[in-house]
Chain A
Amino acid sequence: MDDGDSRRRGRQDLGVGLVALVVVSAAIGRPVLEGLLDRPAVANWATVFVALSVQAMPFLVLGVGVSAVVAALVPAGFLPRVLPREPAVAVPVAAAAGVALPGCECGSVPIAGRLISQGAPPAAALAFLLSAPAINPVVLVATAVAFPGRPEVVLARFLASLLASIIVGLVWVGRGRDELLDRARRRTAPDGPPLTVLTATAQHDFLNAGGFLIVGAAIAATLQTAVPRDAVDTVADAGPLALLALAGLAVVMAICSEADAFVAASLTQFSLASRLTFMVVGPMVDVKLIALQAGTFGRDFALRFAPLTLAAAVGSSALVGWWLL
């Protein structure tokens, strides 16, 4: 056994020991935790935090699974070959391809990261990242159920989300800085037989995306507990301000895109156009998504991408809402 190997072995043992330590100390801390949960605000925070984390797990597993299958089975160089060479064409194509991925936003981040590392044009992968959680059949059906007898809401959501994704993709073609995506671009899948690549990539992606998801869930739970949802009611009649208020609420609440239509439907004090903004912004920008993107692509990227996406989402939903609703 060489020196590096024994060091690695030592760190592994240390790691397992640390996991055990966490579990044991948590057990000792149990009475403290129970005492804390007697406070309604803390209990509310904990419930929202755990609910967000648990709810996202199946979608996250789906996302890292698809991403790992791409890594293991799609040969290097295949994606650049099949995608349109002209970015202005590739972006709308990729955005429309979002229809095919049933799931929510937690799953699409690892997939987009994988597409980039497999050589897809970043702008196209980003357009897919934004459109997939918003325009897939599961989300559209949920929207139709939440707004019975109002098919125009479903159509408006589809069009506004697609439009916003294409705008962001095209802006990225023109002004984006691909070097911000270096972390994703340089990431190569491990060598080995496909099954090893599959499990190793999925395992790594799960830990990475899962960890950042927890950060996002904690922030969202804190904001939800600290800011009562009816605080936004005061601006319900204020036109453009109401639009921005619901965009902000979508960012803060971080609801799964498969459920946000039901919340939007219940916000009856707001106009349909502002509720459309809520449904377009939510799947594209929210606190847990920003955390996930920062983890997958890097913080510098997330800090530039989130405002760009927010502006595009608010703009397109205002436009489509004014036209259709």
Chain B
Amino acid sequence: VNAVGGTISVLVGTVLLRLTVTGIYQRYVRVGMGPWLAIAGAMVIVLGLSRLLRASRAPAPADQHSPGHDDQDGHEHGDRVGWLLLAPIAALLLVAPPALGSYGVDRGAAIDVRAGPSAFEPLPAGAEPVPMTLLEFNQRAYDRDGASLDSATVQLTGFVADDDMPFRLARYQIACCAVDAAPVVVLVVGTVGEPPPLDQWITVTGTFRSSDGEVPEVAATSVVEIPAPDDPYE
């Protein structure tokens, strides 16, 4: 059992390192966590290897005992439950679950734009599109009914959250990990025809359009389908 525990630990550590190296971890936790995941992974690998080393060396250390006494101090118990660590590991090794998508957009608590900066500097009015997070667009739209956006061209990136017209563009804000994700949405107007497929990542270029609705609107001049970004959250 000693060796199994060690093997499980090495597996867990390796998967954590792999998540960091491939950047896939960004689907689950905030970008700044990367180094910590790598350190944790390395430490778990060292722990697992040290256990494998001890297990391979006879005689058995003093904390091993015959099965009859196992449950007295919970060691066996602990090792058995350790098996469960293989569940997320198996999931990550085989098919890494995707970043959060349109499913949760209407289920999460909406982000509070009033918590942001209260007065924005106006954007330069010109043809050059300004890349902007959906959150900033929401905050600017809330601030004096979008006065700071005026007629400036902005570029918004997110995924498609509706499968009918007009569709909403959405992206999640995360503070720590996908568990605390809160969706931010913008309504895309001014396009014709079929919307892009649900959950397709797109970059929308357009201008702010004043409206009475709760969701701010962007009048799109172009909608370009893009591959999902490495960091899917804002």
Please report A residues at the B interface, Cβ cutoff 8 Å: 1, 4-5, 8, 11-12, 15-16, 18-19, 22-23, 26-27, 29-30, 33-34, 37, 40-41, 43-44, 46-55, 57-58, 60-62, 65, 142, 146-148, 183, 186-188, 190-192, 196, 199-200, 202-208, 210-212, 214-215, 217-218, 220, 224, 228-230, 233, 253-256, 258-263, 265-268, 295
Contact = CB atoms under 8 A, between A and B. Distances in A.
Contact of A58 (B33, B107, B173): B33
Contacts of A30: 94-95
Given A46-B91, A187-B73, A266-B112, A230 B28 contact: no
Given A207-B82, A228-B107, A55 B28 contact: yes
Interface stretch (B121-129, B149-157, B176-184, B218-226): B176-184
Given A47-B178, A199-B51, A207-B5, 15 more contacts: A8-B1, A44-B101, A50-B96, A53-B88, A54-B28, A54-B29, A55-B33, A55-B177, A196-B54, A211-B78, A259-B177, A262-B173, A262-B180, A263-B109, A268-B114
Nearest to B35: A58
A13 to B, nearest CB: 8
25 contacts: A4-B66, A5-B58, A18-B4, A22-B90, A23-B90, A26-B90, A37-B98, A40-B103, A43-B97, A49-B88, A51-B28, A55-B28, A61-B40, A200-B51, A203-B51, A207-B78, A211-B84, A212-B81, A228-B107, A230-B108, A256-B177, A262-B176, A262-B182, A267-B109, A295-B78
A12 B4 contact: yes
Contacts of B75: 204
Identify which of B40, B98, B180 gathers the most chain A CB atoms within 10 Å of its CB: B180
Nearest to A18: B4
A233 B109 CA distance: 9
The majority secondary structure among interface residues of chain B is helix
The majority secondary structure among interface residues of chain A is helix
Interface of B: 1-9, 11-12, 16, 19, 25, 27-29, 33, 36-37, 39-41, 43-44, 46-48, 50-51, 54-55, 58-64, 66, 72-75, 77-88, 90-104, 106-112, 114-115, 173, 175-180, 182
A47 B99 contact: yes
A162 to B, nearest CB: 23
Identify which of A19, A148, A218 gathers the most chain B CB atoms within 10 Å of its CB: A19
Contacts of B4: 12, 15-16, 18-19
